[in-house]
Structures are given as structure tokens and as C-alpha cells.
């Protein structure tokens, strides 16, 4: 029980990676706030699963692309839990499309949800954490925060920005006993990613480029999330941990395979 007595907010905890992190942290003894934007039923299902394990679970609606709702979310969490040990800044979206076809609206949606959302949720949480004497912030980045990929330029830019938020906040908040680190998953099969691999040929090509020859599962992110939330990572400052099945460390894979 690495997270016993901790109160944790997981933004975008209703589905996918956030859901797995929320449940994984509850298994380690934490009480969990789950935020969602549209899918209340999904959030309630996660909350029920957590309650069945004996932990407290509360769902909170908020659109993190709006600063007022980031603040509203953090305020609501404090009303329900009275302290926030960990913020998992996970909510995010990706809009696929050619760079030359990308619209201002798509760009704004991605940047406002991912980059602005994590920035202002962290800001609202940090103000409270300073008052309570410390805390932990975990920012959801991506492999695409450090490597490029076609057809999702704004998404990649948002995740690169999140890596800089992680480093900058880690330095700025270290003196307040607030630990800030990040998570950088590779290809994790969730609703958001499923449309990418619906086509069998595309799926095969993706798998050829993953040294472990399988896509990640949301549960593959949980161990690192629990580690960053627990005291085991107390000497980690501004680091982003990547779990990508080996994609990042390779080059010229097809040439190697043909040898």
C-alpha cells in the first residue's frame, strides 16, 4: 500500500490511461477524485470500482480547456477531500490531420485542452499545495513530447510544451516541497488511439516499429504513475518517465530487420 491515506485527483480519469491510473492508485490505498468532461457514466463506473475496493471516490465534471473550470475543479476537489496529495494532470486529446489542413479551431482545441489545461490545473493545485505544505504533480506527456510524428503536429507541440512545464514547475516549486514529474507513454491502445490502428495494414506497420511487438495497455502506465506519486520517487525532480515498448531508442529498424 504505497499510497495509503493519500487524496489524489486524476483529470480525465473516466477512460483510458486516466481510468487505469485512478484504479491502480486506489489499489495502493489512495482516495480518488476522477474528473471527466462529457462521459459522466464512465466516470461513475470508475468511481464505483474504486469504492468496491474500499477507497473513497468522487467524480467531478470540468472542461480543463477553460481556466475557470480548472480552478473550479481544484476547488471542488478540496471541498470533497480537504487536502490534495497528488494531482495527475492526465486529461488530453489528439486531433489527427495533415499539417497543411490543420485549422485554427483544431489547433486551439488541442493546445487549450493539453497545454493550457495542464498549466492551469497545475497552477490552481500548486497554490493550494503551497498552503498545505507540499504535494506532488504528475503531468501526462507522451513519447511525442520528444520525438516527432506526422499528422499530429499540434499534439506533439503540446506535449513538448508539457515537458517544459514539468521541468520549469519542478524547479519553481521544489522549494515548497512540491514534487513535479511527468509520464511519457508510447502507443497505448485506448479509445483515443483505436482509430489510428483500425486498419490492419497500419496496425501491422506500427507493430513492426515497436521492439516489444505489442501495443501498450493503459495498465502499462500505472507502475510509473504510482512510483511518481509515492515517496519512492522523492529525489526525482522534473523527470519524465517514458514507457514505449522501445520505440524511442531505435533507428533504422526496417533496415536491421532485413539484414
Site stretch for ligand NAP (CB under 6 A), options 87-95, 172-180, 205-213, 249-257? 87-95
Measured CA to CA, the distance from residue 26 to residue 29 in angstroms comes to 5
Minimum CB distance to ligand NAP, residue 177 (Å)? 26
Which of 2, 27, 39, 56 is close enough to bind ligand NAP by CB under 6 A? 39
227's grid cell: 512510483
By CB under 6 A, residue 15 contacts ligand NAP: yes
- Cell 504513475 found at: 225
Site stretch for ligand NAP (CB under 6 A), options 51-59, 122-130, 180-188, 197-205? 180-188
Q: What are the residues whose beta carbons fall under 8 Å from the beta carbon of 201, sequence distance 6 or more?
A: none
Which of 187, 233, 240, 242 is close enough to bind ligand NAP by CB under 6 A? 187
Contact (Cβ atoms closer than 8 angstroms) between residue 154 and residue 109: no
* Dihedral-angle region of residue 190 (phi above 0 means left; psi in -120 to 50 means alpha; beta otherwise): beta
Measured CA to CA, the distance from residue 68 to residue 146 in angstroms comes to 30
Which of 21, 26, 37, 88 is close enough to bind ligand NAP by CB under 6 A? 37
Minimum CB distance to ligand NAP, residue 4 (Å)? 25
Contact (Cβ atoms closer than 8 angstroms) between residue 43 and residue 16: no
Closest CB to ligand NAP among residues 1, 202: 202
14's grid cell: 473516466
By CB under 6 A, residue 18 contacts ligand NAP: yes
Minimum CB distance to ligand NAP, residue 108 (Å)? 12
Q: Across the strands, what pairs with 58? A: 33
Site stretch for ligand NAP (CB under 6 A), options 60-68, 74-82, 205-213, 227-235? 60-68
Which of 95, 146, 193, 197 is close enough to bind ligand NAP by CB under 6 A? 193
By CB under 6 A, residue 242 contacts ligand NAP: no
Closest CB to ligand NAP among residues 54, 150: 150
Measured CA to CA, the distance from residue 247 to residue 253 in angstroms comes to 10
Q: Across the strands, what pairs with 8? A: 32, 86
Minimum CB distance to ligand NAP, residue 133 (Å)? 28
By CB under 6 A, residue 17 contacts ligand NAP: yes
* First-last CA distance in the chain: 48
Minimum CB distance to ligand NAP, residue 129 (Å)? 20
Cα 32 to Cα 6, 21, 26, 229, 259: the distances in Å are 8, 10, 7, 13, 50
Contact (Cβ atoms closer than 8 angstroms) between residue 215 and residue 188: yes
Closest CB to ligand NAP among residues 130, 189: 189
| Residues at the interface with ligand NAP (CB under 6 A) | 11-12, 14-18, 36-39, 42, 62-65, 90-94, 113, 140, 142, 185, 187-188, 190-193
Amino acid at each position: 500500500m504505497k499510497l495509503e491515506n493519500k487524496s489524489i485527483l486524476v483529470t480525465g480519469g473516466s477512460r483510458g490511461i486516466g481510468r487505469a491510473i485512478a484504479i491502480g492508485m486506489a489499489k495502493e490505498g489512495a482516495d480518488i477524485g476522477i474528473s471527466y468532461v462529457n462521459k459522466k457514466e464512465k466516470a461513475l463506473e470508475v468511481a464505483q470500482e474504486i469504492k468496491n475496493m474500499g477507497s473513497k471516490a468522487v467524480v467531478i465534471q470540468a472542461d480543463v480547456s477553460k481556466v475557470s473550470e480548472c480552478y473550479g475543479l481544484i476547488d471542488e476537489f478540496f471541498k470533497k477531500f480537504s487536502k490534495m496529495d497528488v494531482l495527475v494532470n492526465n486529461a488530453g486529446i489528439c486531433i489527427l490531420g495533415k499539417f497543411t489542413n490543420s485549422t485554427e479551431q483544431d489547433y486551439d482545441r488541442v493546445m487549450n485542452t493539453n497545454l493550457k489545461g495542464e498549466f492551469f490545473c497545475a497552477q490552481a493545485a500548486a497554490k493550494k499545495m503551497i498552503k498545505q505544505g507540499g504535494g506532488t504533480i504528475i503531468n501526462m506527456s507522451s513519447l511525442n513530447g520528444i520525438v516527432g510524428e506526422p499528422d499530429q503536429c499540434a499534439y506533439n507541440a503540446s506535449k513538448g510544451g508539457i515537458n517544459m512545464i514539468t521541468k520549469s514547475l519542478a524547479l519553481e516549486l521544489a522549494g515548497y516541497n512540491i514534487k513535479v514529474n511527468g509520464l511519457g507513454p508510447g502507443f497505448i491502445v485506448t479509445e483515443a488511439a483505436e482509430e489510428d490502428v483500425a486498419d490492419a495494414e497500419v496496425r501491422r506497420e506500427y507493430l513492426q516499429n515497436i521492439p516489444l511487438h505489442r501495443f501498450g495497455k493503459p495498465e502499462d502506465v500505472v507502475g510509473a504513475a504510482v512510483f511518481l506519486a509515492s515517496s519512492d520517487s522523492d529525489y526525482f525532480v522534473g523527470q519524465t518517465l517514458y514507457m514505449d515498448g522501445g520505440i524511442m531508442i531505435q533507428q533504422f529498424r526496417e533496415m536491421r530487420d532485413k539484414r
